[in-house]
Amino acid sequence: MLDDFLMRAGLAGVGLSLATGPLGAFVVWRRMAYFGDATAHAAILGVALALAMDLPVGFGTLAVALVMAVTVSTLSGRGWAIDTVLGVLAHSALALGLVAVSFLQGVRVDLQSWLFGDILAVSRADLAFIWGGGALVAVLIVWRWDRLLVATVNEDLAHASGIDPNRERMVLTLALAVVVAVSIKVVGALLIAAMLIVPAAAARALARGPEAMALLASAIGAAAALAGLWLSLSFDTPAGPSIVAAAAAGFVIAGVVGRLRA
């Protein structure tokens, strides 16, 4: 009874949560929430540039997300307050992206689908891209887990243990760029940050350790993706927002369960 497109959509959601679980945990711990947002907004510019240059969209979003990530690191290193840097770059990139889209002649751009995602239109190639990117990020984070964790707890402590916190921050930034690039099709530029933060925040209420929190975040993200798809199918609601709504429900439930247990 599972149609093929629905199967692909479900697999896309689950593949994405492989990466968004642990990465989202770090985004929450390091207060990078707005950073995820900014990178995602900039990705719209990547979509426009890729379409204009006849390149794969995933490539364009990845490139712009990477440039964005490096620019933010550089500017904040020069003493600009991080929220100012992000505010300038995120909204400028989004605006430039929207302007650039309007210049595209002969290419029909369904802006709605880039802003809100279109998980039901996920192709086999998209699926390979999502699982490839998701697995890459998951492996990267597992590999460097302890180093990332020390750098998150205290940068000087990391230094004293022979770990370069700047390198670890760059690892997370790059991982974030990859996740944004692969997930823009699934949940769209406006809701990617939600998929990073909401499951991780929900997991916090239940977890007693960092590893448990990351794994739980992945599980909650995957469950939200499937529940959101079901919601979308049953009530004919837009898929991306339905997934985020399901994750938000998970956040509320986890909060209540966590309080009852405490």
Partner 1 sequence: MSLLSAEHVTVRLGGADVLSDVSIALNAGEIVTIVGPNGSGKSTLLRTLLGILPVSSGRVTRNARIGYVPQKLALERTLPLSVRRFLSLPIRHSRAEADAALARVGVPDIADRQLADLSGGQLQRAMLARALLAKPQAILLDEPTQGLDQPGEAAFYRLLEEVRRDTGAAVLMVSHDLHVVMSASDRVICLNGHVCCEGTPRVVSNAPEYRALFGLGTQGALALYQHDHDHTHDCGHDHA
Residues in 189-228 that interact with partner 1 by CB under 8 A: 201, 204, 207-210, 212-213
Closer CB to partner 1, 124 or 208, in the complex: 208
Interaction of residue 146 with partner 1, rule CB under 8 A:
yes
Q: Whole-angstrom Cα distance, residue 213 to residue 234? A: 31
Q: Binding residue for partner 1 (CB under 8 A) from 63, 149, 191, 229?
A: 149
CB of 8 to partner 1, least distance (A): 34
Interaction of residue 81 with partner 1, rule CB under 8 A:
no
Interaction of residue 147 with partner 1, rule CB under 8 A:
yes
Interaction of residue 110 with partner 1, rule CB under 8 A:
no
Closer CB to partner 1, 31 or 259, in the complex: 31
CB of 153 to partner 1, least distance (A): 6
Residues in 41-80 that interact with partner 1 by CB under 8 A: none
Residue 241 CB partners (closer than 8 Å, separation 6+): 116, 191
CB of 155 to partner 1, least distance (A): 8
Interface with partner 1 (CB under 8 A), residue total 25
Q: What is the DSSP string of 149-199?
A: HHHHH-HHHHHHTT--HHHHHHHHHHHHHHHHHHHHHHH-TTTHHHHHHHH
Q: Binding residue for partner 1 (CB under 8 A) from 1, 2, 4, 31?
A: 31
CB of 206 to partner 1, least distance (A): 9
CB of 154 to partner 1, least distance (A): 5
List residues near partner 1 by CB under 8 A.
28-31, 146-147, 149-150, 152-154, 156-157, 159-161, 163, 201, 204, 207-210, 212-213
